[in-house]
């Protein structure tokens, strides 16, 4: 059995990406019709070579999160229906978290006569609206599944990417009507992240490698490095995996084709019977601290209830990166939490983004210095030395927006992209700490542009950047305000979420229907770093949401 995830068609409709949730919709090249169930054949059908199965999606201009609960994935053809991947219990996926990303669900053997892939889903979905409120709705899935037709898919590609096409989702009364498509090469070229979440039994372990017999990816050899974190709820903070342990591994995926995939473990969790705890992962920004209680604004969540502004109790948490003393308002964290107790989510493991692995002093400045971050556009690359035009900085007094700074990325962990993908004009985010002189000591980098390193198919190159957008295209853009006028403002663009688009500046228009989050329209000012969602009218972006980053 295997797990399935992503596929996209040639770019005609808007790109869909999201966070792990759990739904599938209508395929590209054909609607989401539901075929009658077929009888399993008495003779096993001829099977094609293994195919890497991905889920992918895009952001939504209407919702910040869309959770679907996926039960299993099957292949359907004239000879019958074959199960590819099963989740027990059903797994929630937040679709918008999959933007510009491929989530590798499994390596699957599709019968040669497969014409359709079905994703079986729960009958309800949860929507987090732009104002942060969560709404439960019915999910339209006749037969209990969302259908992806393989009319335009090339079996020889070795990649099947199922795209939950969020920009085409519609809400009719209290029923969510989904859309689906198969991702194509142009979609793959825009991925800047591929990842996998695997569980299984440890069969071998060394200082640099962990071999696990996984449910959906087969026997996987995970690379272990200085950035790999470990967590066990019952066996203490010094636990590391041993042969015979059952583990869950979060990993970055690289390489071309199923036989050449490479997995680098970022987080390993003890999942033996005594340690299994049903944890869900949330990511967000700390806004306040009261003893052991953190108030967080959640940006990404694998747990549908933990959305918007939440309270997280870290009293019993293990820090895998950074420490409780490093927590400050504005710091971004990732927490593994259990079920809510009285409205508070108890955390078992906490990781501060950009912090050194707990117990290490990689910057040479100890753990007493503040978290620091800079976002900028690359102006020059000289080996590991990168010169940035700063768009935004936190905890770095000398890095004002519009200034130029040079950062040495030697030995830095790339959460997205790779050092080989550094190029002039690309948006780059660097996280770390500020030393005693206020200089950035980088630990983690995220390269936001498309990167061939992340492409899962041989011959797929990064997209050619253009300066135009289709009329009506859904767009998510981040940048710094350069001018403000009644009803509109100009942005110097840091990054834009749309295939192949690279606009240095953009005008944003807003109205009384635009949601402003964390500030008011009257507070717009030059120098602010904002995130905007909206649709392109040919001359400007009509904003549905404007948020202070």
CATH number for the domain spanning 229: value is 2.40.50.320
Question: What was the pLDDT predicted at 466?
Answer: 63
Q: Are residues 167 and 218 in the same domain?
A: no
**Domain count for the chain:** 5
Q: What range defines the domain where residue 334 resides?
A: 280-352
- Tokens representing 87 are 């989740």
CB 32 within 8 A of CB 178: yes
Whether residues 160 and 204 share a domain: the answer is no
Residue 462 lies in a domain: no
Query: What pLDDT shows up at residue 420?
Result: 84
Q: For the domain that residue 346 is a member of, what is the CATH number?
A: 2.40.50.140
Q: Is 5 within a domain?
A: no
- For residue 9, tell me if it sits in a domain: no
Q: Is residue 298 part of a domain?
A: yes
State residue 455's pLDDT score.
66
Residues 377 and 334 in one domain: no
Looking at the structure, tell me whether residues 181 and 61 fall in a common domain: yes
Whole-angstrom distance, CA of residue 8 vs CA of residue 154: 11
536, containing H or E segment = strand 529-536
3-class DSSP state for residue 144?
Answer: helix
Same domain flag for 57 and 183:
yes
pLDDT at 38: 37
pLDDT < 50 stretches in the chain? 1-44, 46-47, 361-368
Q: Is residue 464 part of a domain?
A: no
Q: Which two tokens stand for residue 462?
A: 């990064």
Does 307 share its domain with 385?
Answer: no
CB atoms within 10 A of CB 46: 9
Q: From CA 182, how far away is CA 163, in angstroms rounded?
A: 6
pTM for this entry: 0.82
What is the structure's pLDDT at 467? 64
Q: State how far the Cα of 244 lies from the Cα of 139, in Å rounded to an integer.
A: 40
pLDDT at 452: 60
What SS3 state is found at 375? strand
Residues 6+ apart with CB under 8 A from 518: 547, 548
Specify the 3-state DSSP secondary structure of 420: helix
Q: Is residue 502 part of a domain?
A: yes
Contact 264, 225 (CB under 8 A): yes
Task: Judge if 200 and 309 occupy the same domain.
Answer: no
Task: Give the model confidence (pLDDT) of 273-307 as tens digits.
Answer: 766 667 788 999 999 999 999 999 888 887 777 88
CB atoms within 10 A of CB 459: 9
Identify the pLDDT of residue 10: 35
One domain for residues 83 and 170: yes
The answer to whether residues 99 and 181 belong to one domain is yes
pLDDT at 434: 84
C-alpha closest to that of 147 among 204, 216, 197, 77: 77
Helix (H) or strand (E) holding 188: helix 185-188
Nearest 10 degrees: Cα torsion 231, 237, 238, 241: -20
Structural domain ending residue among the three candidates 270, 291, 320: 270
Q: Judge if 401 and 447 occupy the same domain.
A: yes
Question: Are both 236 and 179 inside the same structural domain?
Answer: no
């Amino acid at each position: 059995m295997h797990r399935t995830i992503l596929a996209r068609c040639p770019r005609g409709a808007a790109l869909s990406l999201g966070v792990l949730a759990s739904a599938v919709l209508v395929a590209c090249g054909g609607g989401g019709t539901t075929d009658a169930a077929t009888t399993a054949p008495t003779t096993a059908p001829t099977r094609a070579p293994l195919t890497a199965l991905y889920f992918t999606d895009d952001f939504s201009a209407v919702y910040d999160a869309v959770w679907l609960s996926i039960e299993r994935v099957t292949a359907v053809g004239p000879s019958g229906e074959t199960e590819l991947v099963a989740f027990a219990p059903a797994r929630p996926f937040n679709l918008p978290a999959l933007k510009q990303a491929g989530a590798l669900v499994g390596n699957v053997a599709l019968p040669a006569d497969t014409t359709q892939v079905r994703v079986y889903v729960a009958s309800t979905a949860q929507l987090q609206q732009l104002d942060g409120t969560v709404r439960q709705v019915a999910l339209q899935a006749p037969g209990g599944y969302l259908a992806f037709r393989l009319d335009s898919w090339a079996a020889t590609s070795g990649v099947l990417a199922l795209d939950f096409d969020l920009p085409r989702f519609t809400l009719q009364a209290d029923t969510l009507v989904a859309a689906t498509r198969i991702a194509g090469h142009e979609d793959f070229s825009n991925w800047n992240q591929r990842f996998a979440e695997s569980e299984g039994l440890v069969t071998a372990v060394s200082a640099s490698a962990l071999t696990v017999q996984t449910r959906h990816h087969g026997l996987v050899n995970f690379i272990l490095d200085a950035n790999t974190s470990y967590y066990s709820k019952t066996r203490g903070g010094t636990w590391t995996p041993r042969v015979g342990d059952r583990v869950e591994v979060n990993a970055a995926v690289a390489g071309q084709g199923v036989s050449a995939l490479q997995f680098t473990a970022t987080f390993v969790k003890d999942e033996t019977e005594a340690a299994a705890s049903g944890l869900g992962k949330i990511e967000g920004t700390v806004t306040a601290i009261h003893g052991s209680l953190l108030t967080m604004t959640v940006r990404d969540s694998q747990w549908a209830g933990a959305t918007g502004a939440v309270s997280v109790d870290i009293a019993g948490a293990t820090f895998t990166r950074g420490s409780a003393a490093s927590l400050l308002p504005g710091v971004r964290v990732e927490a593994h939490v259990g079920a809510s107790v009285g409205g508070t989510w108890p955390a078992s493991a906490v990781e501060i983004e950009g912090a050194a692995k707990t117990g290490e002093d990689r910057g040479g400045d100890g753990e007493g210095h503040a978290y620091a971050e800079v976002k900028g556009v690359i102006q020059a690359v000289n080996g590991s030395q990168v010169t940035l035009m700063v768009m935004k900085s936190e905890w770095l007094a000398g890095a004002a927006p519009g200034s130029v700074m040079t950062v040495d990325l030697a030995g830095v962990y790339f959460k997205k992209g790779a050092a080989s993908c550094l190029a002039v004009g690309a948006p780059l985010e660097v996280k770390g700490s500020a030393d005693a002189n206020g200089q950035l000591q980088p630990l983690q980098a995220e390269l936001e542009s498309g990167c061939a390193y992340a492409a899962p198919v041989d011959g797929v190159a990064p997209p050619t950047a253009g300066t135009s957008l289709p009329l009506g295209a859904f767009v998510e853009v981040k940048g710094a305000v350069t001018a403000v006028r009644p009803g509109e403002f100009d942005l110097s663009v840091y990054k834009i979420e749309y295939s192949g688009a690279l606009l240095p500046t953009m005008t944003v228009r807003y109205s009384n229907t635009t949601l402003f989050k964390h500030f008011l329209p009257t507070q717009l000012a030059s120098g602010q770093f904002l995130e905007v969602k909206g649709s392109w009218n040919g001359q400007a972006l009509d904003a549905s949401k404007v948020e202070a980053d």
